[in-house]
Amino acid sequence: MSGAIHNCHLHLFTIDNIPENFIPFGLQTIMRLDPLRTLVVSGLKVADPFGKRDLFERYGNLMRLTYGKSQEDLFAVVRSYYPAGTRFVILPMDMEFMKKGRVPKDIHHQHAELARLRDKFPDLIIPFAHVDPRRPNVEKMLRKLVEEDGFKGVKIYPPLGYSPSDSVLMEQIYPYMQEKGLPLMAHCSKGGVRMDGLSAKEAARFADPDGYVRVMEAFPDLRICLGHFGGQDDWKAYLDEPWDPTVTKASTNWLSKILDLIRSGKYPNLFADISYTVFSIGENLPLLKVLLADTQVQNQVLFGSDFYMAEQEKMTERRVSIALRSELSPTVFWKIAEENPKRYL
Ligand SMILES: [Zn+2]
Protein backbone atom coordinates (compact mmCIF):
# COMPACT_ATOMS: atom_id res chain seq x y z
CA MET A 1 0.00 0.00 0.00
CA SER A 2 1.29 3.43 -0.79
CA GLY A 3 -0.23 6.80 -1.44
CA ALA A 4 0.55 10.42 -0.78
CA ILE A 5 2.60 11.34 2.26
CA HIS A 6 1.00 14.16 4.25
CA ASN A 7 3.45 16.32 6.20
CA CYS A 8 1.10 17.92 8.72
CA HIS A 9 3.44 20.48 10.33
CA LEU A 10 5.54 22.86 8.27
CA HIS A 11 6.59 26.52 8.27
CA LEU A 12 7.47 28.73 5.34
CA PHE A 13 7.43 32.15 7.04
CA THR A 14 10.57 34.24 6.65
CA ILE A 15 12.71 36.69 8.58
CA ASP A 16 10.37 39.52 7.50
CA ASN A 17 7.51 37.87 9.37
CA ILE A 18 9.17 38.05 12.77
CA PRO A 19 9.21 41.14 15.02
CA GLU A 20 12.03 43.64 14.69
CA ASN A 21 13.28 43.19 18.25
CA PHE A 22 13.09 39.41 18.31
CA ILE A 23 16.81 39.53 19.06
CA PRO A 24 17.57 42.18 21.69
CA PHE A 25 20.15 44.99 21.78
CA GLY A 26 19.79 46.04 18.13
CA LEU A 27 21.67 42.93 17.04
CA GLN A 28 18.90 42.11 14.61
CA THR A 29 19.81 45.05 12.38
CA ILE A 30 23.48 44.15 12.49
CA MET A 31 22.71 40.55 11.62
CA ARG A 32 20.92 41.61 8.47
CA LEU A 33 24.26 42.62 6.98
CA ASP A 34 25.58 39.51 5.34
CA PRO A 35 29.29 39.45 6.25
CA LEU A 36 28.55 40.37 9.87
CA ARG A 37 25.80 37.82 10.25
CA THR A 38 27.94 34.69 10.30
CA LEU A 39 30.39 36.38 12.59
CA VAL A 40 27.76 37.55 15.06
CA VAL A 41 25.87 34.24 15.07
CA SER A 42 28.95 32.12 15.62
CA GLY A 43 30.41 34.61 18.11
CA LEU A 44 27.25 34.60 20.20
CA LYS A 45 27.02 30.84 20.09
CA VAL A 46 30.46 30.54 21.64
CA ALA A 47 30.42 33.48 24.03
CA ASP A 48 26.70 33.48 24.93
CA PRO A 49 26.96 36.84 26.73
CA PHE A 50 23.24 37.16 27.37
CA GLY A 51 22.48 33.61 28.43
CA LYS A 52 20.26 33.28 25.40
CA ARG A 53 22.19 30.77 23.34
CA ASP A 54 19.00 29.05 22.23
CA LEU A 55 17.47 32.24 20.99
CA PHE A 56 20.57 33.23 19.04
CA GLU A 57 20.90 29.80 17.50
CA ARG A 58 17.26 29.77 16.53
CA TYR A 59 17.47 33.24 15.09
CA GLY A 60 20.76 32.57 13.33
CA ASN A 61 19.21 29.49 11.79
CA LEU A 62 16.10 31.38 10.76
CA MET A 63 18.31 34.05 9.24
CA ARG A 64 20.52 31.55 7.43
CA LEU A 65 17.60 29.67 5.96
CA THR A 66 15.14 32.43 5.17
CA TYR A 67 17.05 35.68 4.57
CA GLY A 68 16.09 37.15 1.21
CA LYS A 69 13.89 34.14 0.46
CA SER A 70 10.19 33.87 -0.29
CA GLN A 71 7.76 31.21 0.95
CA GLU A 72 8.02 29.74 -2.54
CA ASP A 73 11.82 29.43 -2.29
CA LEU A 74 11.47 27.60 1.04
CA PHE A 75 8.74 25.37 -0.35
CA ALA A 76 11.03 24.34 -3.21
CA VAL A 77 13.59 23.18 -0.63
CA VAL A 78 11.22 21.12 1.50
CA ARG A 79 9.46 19.64 -1.51
CA SER A 80 12.79 18.34 -2.80
CA TYR A 81 13.12 16.12 0.28
CA TYR A 82 9.92 14.18 -0.37
CA PRO A 83 8.45 12.00 -3.12
CA ALA A 84 6.37 13.71 -5.83
CA GLY A 85 2.76 14.17 -4.78
CA THR A 86 3.52 14.68 -1.06
CA ARG A 87 1.07 17.13 0.54
CA PHE A 88 2.14 19.82 3.03
CA VAL A 89 0.17 21.59 5.77
CA ILE A 90 1.62 25.10 5.98
CA LEU A 91 1.37 26.91 9.33
CA PRO A 92 1.86 30.69 9.32
CA MET A 93 2.95 32.58 12.44
CA ASP A 94 1.43 35.81 13.76
CA MET A 95 4.05 37.27 16.10
CA GLU A 96 2.67 40.77 16.27
CA PHE A 97 1.46 40.43 19.87
CA MET A 98 4.59 39.00 21.44
CA LYS A 99 5.76 42.48 22.45
CA LYS A 100 8.96 42.36 20.47
CA GLY A 101 8.25 45.19 18.09
CA ARG A 102 6.80 45.74 14.68
CA VAL A 103 6.57 42.91 12.17
CA PRO A 104 7.89 44.14 8.78
CA LYS A 105 5.50 41.94 6.77
CA ASP A 106 2.40 41.32 8.87
CA ILE A 107 0.15 38.28 9.07
CA HIS A 108 -2.15 39.49 6.30
CA HIS A 109 0.84 39.72 4.00
CA GLN A 110 1.97 36.26 5.11
CA HIS A 111 -1.47 34.71 4.53
CA ALA A 112 -1.76 36.38 1.11
CA GLU A 113 1.64 35.08 0.01
CA LEU A 114 0.65 31.59 1.17
CA ALA A 115 -2.65 31.77 -0.76
CA ARG A 116 -0.73 32.67 -3.94
CA LEU A 117 1.65 29.76 -3.39
CA ARG A 118 -1.30 27.41 -2.93
CA ASP A 119 -2.73 28.69 -6.23
CA LYS A 120 0.53 27.58 -7.88
CA PHE A 121 0.51 24.16 -6.16
CA PRO A 122 -3.16 23.49 -5.41
CA ASP A 123 -2.68 19.73 -4.98
CA LEU A 124 0.34 19.98 -2.70
CA ILE A 125 -0.31 22.86 -0.31
CA ILE A 126 -2.86 22.85 2.51
CA PRO A 127 -2.90 26.38 3.99
CA PHE A 128 -3.80 27.02 7.64
CA ALA A 129 -4.64 30.46 9.08
CA HIS A 130 -2.85 31.69 12.18
CA VAL A 131 -5.38 32.94 14.73
CA ASP A 132 -4.22 35.08 17.65
CA PRO A 133 -7.30 35.87 19.78
CA ARG A 134 -5.87 39.31 20.62
CA ARG A 135 -5.95 40.44 16.99
CA PRO A 136 -8.93 42.76 16.44
CA ASN A 137 -11.68 41.23 14.26
CA VAL A 138 -9.85 37.93 14.07
CA GLU A 139 -13.05 35.97 13.47
CA LYS A 140 -13.80 38.11 10.43
CA MET A 141 -10.26 37.54 9.19
CA LEU A 142 -10.67 33.78 9.56
CA ARG A 143 -14.04 33.70 7.79
CA LYS A 144 -12.59 35.55 4.83
CA LEU A 145 -9.54 33.27 4.65
CA VAL A 146 -11.73 30.17 4.74
CA GLU A 147 -14.62 31.27 2.57
CA GLU A 148 -12.82 33.37 -0.02
CA ASP A 149 -9.26 32.07 0.00
CA GLY A 150 -9.83 28.38 0.72
CA PHE A 151 -7.80 28.04 3.94
CA LYS A 152 -8.27 24.61 5.51
CA GLY A 153 -7.49 24.89 9.22
CA VAL A 154 -6.31 27.05 12.12
CA LYS A 155 -2.97 27.31 13.91
CA ILE A 156 -2.65 28.68 17.45
CA TYR A 157 0.52 29.26 19.50
CA PRO A 158 -0.51 29.81 23.16
CA PRO A 159 3.02 30.56 24.54
CA LEU A 160 2.71 33.86 22.66
CA GLY A 161 0.52 34.89 25.57
CA TYR A 162 -2.97 33.36 25.72
CA SER A 163 -4.80 30.27 26.86
CA PRO A 164 -6.36 27.72 24.46
CA SER A 165 -9.64 28.45 26.25
CA ASP A 166 -9.37 32.22 25.69
CA SER A 167 -12.89 33.67 25.43
CA VAL A 168 -12.47 34.80 21.81
CA LEU A 169 -11.43 31.29 20.82
CA MET A 170 -14.24 29.66 22.85
CA GLU A 171 -16.99 32.04 21.76
CA GLN A 172 -16.08 32.94 18.19
CA ILE A 173 -13.37 30.77 16.67
CA TYR A 174 -14.03 27.17 17.81
CA PRO A 175 -17.80 27.29 17.17
CA TYR A 176 -17.09 28.45 13.61
CA MET A 177 -14.39 25.80 13.14
CA GLN A 178 -16.63 23.04 14.42
CA GLU A 179 -19.43 24.17 12.12
CA LYS A 180 -17.08 24.23 9.10
CA GLY A 181 -15.17 21.07 10.07
CA LEU A 182 -11.83 22.91 10.26
CA PRO A 183 -8.99 21.23 12.19
CA LEU A 184 -6.91 23.01 14.86
CA MET A 185 -3.12 22.80 15.14
CA ALA A 186 -1.75 23.90 18.51
CA HIS A 187 1.88 24.30 19.52
CA CYS A 188 2.38 21.90 22.44
CA SER A 189 5.89 21.82 23.83
CA LYS A 190 7.77 23.66 26.56
CA GLY A 191 10.25 24.94 23.98
CA GLY A 192 9.83 27.42 21.18
CA VAL A 193 9.20 31.16 21.27
CA ARG A 194 7.19 33.05 23.89
CA MET A 195 5.80 36.49 24.56
CA ASP A 196 8.25 39.01 26.01
CA GLY A 197 7.82 39.24 29.78
CA LEU A 198 6.59 35.66 30.25
CA SER A 199 8.87 33.25 32.09
CA ALA A 200 9.40 29.82 30.52
CA LYS A 201 7.13 28.42 33.22
CA GLU A 202 4.33 30.89 32.54
CA ALA A 203 4.54 30.28 28.79
CA ALA A 204 4.44 26.52 29.41
CA ARG A 205 1.25 26.90 31.40
CA PHE A 206 -0.45 28.25 28.25
CA ALA A 207 0.80 25.32 26.14
CA ASP A 208 -0.03 22.56 28.66
CA PRO A 209 -2.05 19.63 27.21
CA ASP A 210 -4.39 19.91 30.25
CA GLY A 211 -5.65 23.20 28.82
CA TYR A 212 -7.34 21.37 25.93
CA VAL A 213 -9.62 19.21 28.06
CA ARG A 214 -12.05 22.11 28.49
CA VAL A 215 -11.95 22.79 24.77
CA MET A 216 -12.56 19.14 23.85
CA GLU A 217 -15.45 18.86 26.31
CA ALA A 218 -17.10 21.98 24.85
CA PHE A 219 -16.36 21.10 21.20
CA PRO A 220 -16.34 17.31 20.91
CA ASP A 221 -16.37 17.40 17.09
CA LEU A 222 -13.41 19.77 16.81
CA ARG A 223 -10.32 17.93 15.55
CA ILE A 224 -7.28 19.06 17.51
CA CYS A 225 -3.62 18.24 16.95
CA LEU A 226 -1.14 18.87 19.75
CA GLY A 227 1.97 19.76 17.76
CA HIS A 228 5.29 18.17 18.82
CA PHE A 229 3.56 15.57 21.05
CA GLY A 230 4.56 17.39 24.24
CA GLY A 231 8.05 18.28 23.04
CA GLN A 232 11.59 17.06 23.03
CA ASP A 233 12.36 17.86 26.69
CA ASP A 234 9.44 15.81 27.92
CA TRP A 235 10.31 12.91 25.64
CA LYS A 236 13.79 12.98 27.15
CA ALA A 237 12.37 13.20 30.68
CA TYR A 238 10.04 10.30 29.90
CA LEU A 239 13.11 8.17 29.14
CA ASP A 240 15.45 9.48 31.81
CA GLU A 241 13.29 10.45 34.77
CA PRO A 242 10.49 7.95 35.21
CA TRP A 243 8.09 8.76 38.01
CA ASP A 244 6.86 6.56 40.81
CA PRO A 245 3.12 5.96 40.28
CA THR A 246 2.63 5.26 43.99
CA VAL A 247 3.93 8.71 44.91
CA THR A 248 2.47 10.95 42.22
CA LYS A 249 -0.87 9.93 40.85
CA ALA A 250 -0.84 12.14 37.81
CA SER A 251 2.41 12.60 35.99
CA THR A 252 3.48 16.08 35.00
CA ASN A 253 5.18 14.76 31.90
CA TRP A 254 3.45 16.11 28.80
CA LEU A 255 4.09 13.06 26.66
CA SER A 256 2.39 10.86 29.25
CA LYS A 257 -0.43 13.40 29.70
CA ILE A 258 -1.19 13.26 25.97
CA LEU A 259 -0.95 9.47 25.95
CA ASP A 260 -3.40 9.32 28.87
CA LEU A 261 -5.86 11.55 27.00
CA ILE A 262 -5.62 9.38 23.89
CA ARG A 263 -5.82 6.08 25.77
CA SER A 264 -8.83 7.23 27.79
CA GLY A 265 -10.83 6.70 24.59
CA LYS A 266 -12.83 9.83 25.37
CA TYR A 267 -11.21 12.04 22.74
CA PRO A 268 -11.22 10.39 19.31
CA ASN A 269 -10.71 13.80 17.66
CA LEU A 270 -7.46 14.46 19.50
CA PHE A 271 -4.22 13.97 17.55
CA ALA A 272 -0.53 14.53 18.26
CA ASP A 273 2.16 15.14 15.64
CA ILE A 274 5.77 14.00 15.82
CA SER A 275 7.24 17.16 14.29
CA TYR A 276 10.53 18.47 15.66
CA THR A 277 10.46 16.05 18.60
CA VAL A 278 11.28 13.00 16.52
CA PHE A 279 13.00 14.94 13.74
CA SER A 280 15.60 16.68 15.83
CA ILE A 281 16.76 13.72 17.88
CA GLY A 282 17.16 10.30 16.36
CA GLU A 283 17.02 8.71 19.81
CA ASN A 284 13.29 9.42 20.01
CA LEU A 285 12.57 7.07 17.13
CA PRO A 286 12.73 3.84 19.20
CA LEU A 287 10.34 5.35 21.76
CA LEU A 288 7.94 6.39 18.99
CA LYS A 289 8.08 2.87 17.60
CA VAL A 290 7.17 1.42 20.99
CA LEU A 291 4.32 3.91 21.52
CA LEU A 292 2.89 3.14 18.10
CA ALA A 293 2.60 -0.54 18.99
CA ASP A 294 -0.58 0.53 20.81
CA THR A 295 -3.28 0.65 18.12
CA GLN A 296 -5.20 3.39 19.90
CA VAL A 297 -2.12 5.62 19.87
CA GLN A 298 -1.36 4.58 16.29
CA ASN A 299 -4.75 5.93 15.19
CA GLN A 300 -4.16 9.39 16.64
CA VAL A 301 -0.60 10.24 15.63
CA LEU A 302 0.25 12.41 12.62
CA PHE A 303 3.41 12.65 10.56
CA GLY A 304 4.94 16.14 10.50
CA SER A 305 8.47 17.53 10.47
CA ASP A 306 8.43 21.20 11.58
CA PHE A 307 10.54 22.17 8.56
CA TYR A 308 12.65 24.34 8.80
CA MET A 309 12.89 24.40 12.61
CA ALA A 310 14.45 20.96 12.76
CA GLU A 311 16.97 21.85 10.06
CA GLN A 312 19.34 23.25 12.65
CA GLU A 313 19.89 19.82 14.09
CA LYS A 314 22.26 17.17 12.88
CA MET A 315 19.96 15.25 10.57
CA THR A 316 18.35 16.57 7.43
CA GLU A 317 14.66 16.32 6.70
CA ARG A 318 15.15 13.57 4.15
CA ARG A 319 17.39 11.49 6.42
CA VAL A 320 14.85 11.48 9.25
CA SER A 321 11.89 10.81 6.98
CA ILE A 322 13.67 7.83 5.50
CA ALA A 323 14.85 6.55 8.89
CA LEU A 324 11.26 6.79 10.07
CA ARG A 325 9.93 4.91 7.07
CA SER A 326 12.49 2.17 7.44
CA GLU A 327 11.90 1.76 11.19
CA LEU A 328 8.11 1.73 11.14
CA SER A 329 6.24 -1.03 9.36
CA PRO A 330 4.67 0.13 6.06
CA THR A 331 1.22 -0.24 7.64
CA VAL A 332 2.07 2.00 10.58
CA PHE A 333 3.95 4.50 8.42
CA TRP A 334 1.05 4.97 6.02
CA LYS A 335 -1.36 5.17 8.90
CA ILE A 336 0.40 8.20 10.41
CA ALA A 337 1.44 9.69 7.06
CA GLU A 338 -1.78 9.32 5.11
CA GLU A 339 -4.76 7.65 6.75
CA ASN A 340 -4.78 9.68 9.99
CA PRO A 341 -3.91 13.01 8.29
CA LYS A 342 -6.85 12.56 5.92
CA ARG A 343 -9.13 12.00 8.90
CA TYR A 344 -7.63 14.99 10.74
CA LEU A 345 -7.86 17.30 7.75
ZN1 LIG B 1 6.19 24.36 14.40
The pLDDT tens digits of the residues spanning 131-153 come to: 999 999 999 999 999 999 999 99
pTM of the full predicted structure? 0.92
The H or E element spanning position 215 is helix 211-218
Q: Which residues contact 209 (CB under 8 A, 6 or more apart)?
A: 188, 226, 230, 254, 257, 258, 261
Ligand 1 mean position, distance from CA 176 (Å):
24
Report d(CA 328, CA 326) in Å as an integer: 6
- Reported confidence tier of residue 117, pLDDT bands at 50, 70, 90: very high
The confidence score (pLDDT) of residue 307 equals: 86
Q: How far is the CA of 20 from the centre of ligand 1 (A)?
A: 20
Q: Give the pairing of strands 224-230 and 184-189.
A: parallel
Pairing between β-strand 125-130 and β-strand 153-156 as defined by DSSP bridges: parallel
Tell me how far the alpha carbon of residue 91 lies from the centroid of ligand 1, in angstroms.
Answer: 7
Distance from Cα 247 to the centre of ligand 1, integer Å:
34
Q: Could you tell me the distance, in angstroms and rounded to a whole number, from the CA of residue 244 to the centre of ligand 1?
A: 32
Q: Which amino acid is at 319?
A: R
In the predicted model, is pLDDT for residue 41 greater than 80?
Answer: no
Q: How far is the CA of 181 from the centre of ligand 1 (A)?
A: 22
Beta strands in the chain (DSSP E): 6-10, 87-90, 125-130, 153-156, 184-189, 224-230, 270-273, 301-302
Q: Which pLDDT band holds residue 84 (cuts at 50, 70, 90)?
A: very high
The CA distances from residue 62 to 25, 312, 337, in Å, are: 18, 9, 26
Contact yes or no for 92/110 (Cβ under 8 A): yes
Task: Note the pLDDT of residue 33.
Answer: 66
- Under the banding of pLDDT at 50, 70 and 90, the label for residue 32 is low
- pLDDT single digits (tens) 249-277: 557 899 999 999 999 999 999 999 999 88
Rounded to the nearest angstrom, the distance between the alpha carbon of 172 and the centre of ligand 1 is 24
CA 61 – ligand 1 centroid, Å: 14
Q: How far is the CA of 10 from the centre of ligand 1 (A)?
A: 6
- Pick the more confident residue, 61 or 224: 224
Does the pLDDT value for residue 291 go beyond 90?
A: yes
Q: How far is the CA of 187 from the centre of ligand 1 (A)?
A: 7
β strands within 106-176, DSSP E: 125-130, 153-156
Cα 220 to ligand 1 centroid, rounded to whole Å: 24
CA of 93 from ligand 1 middle (Å) equals 9
- How remote is the CA of residue 293 from the centroid of ligand 1, in Å? 26
User: Would you state the pLDDT for residue 249?
Assistant: 53
Q: Checking DSSP bridges between strand 6-10 and strand 125-130, what pairing results, if any?
A: unpaired
pLDDT of amino acid 283: 79
Which residues touch 77 (CB under 8 Å, ≥6 apart)?
A: 308
Instruction: Kindly report, residue by residue over 216-237, the tens digit of the pLDDT.
Output: 999 999 999 999 999 988 998 8
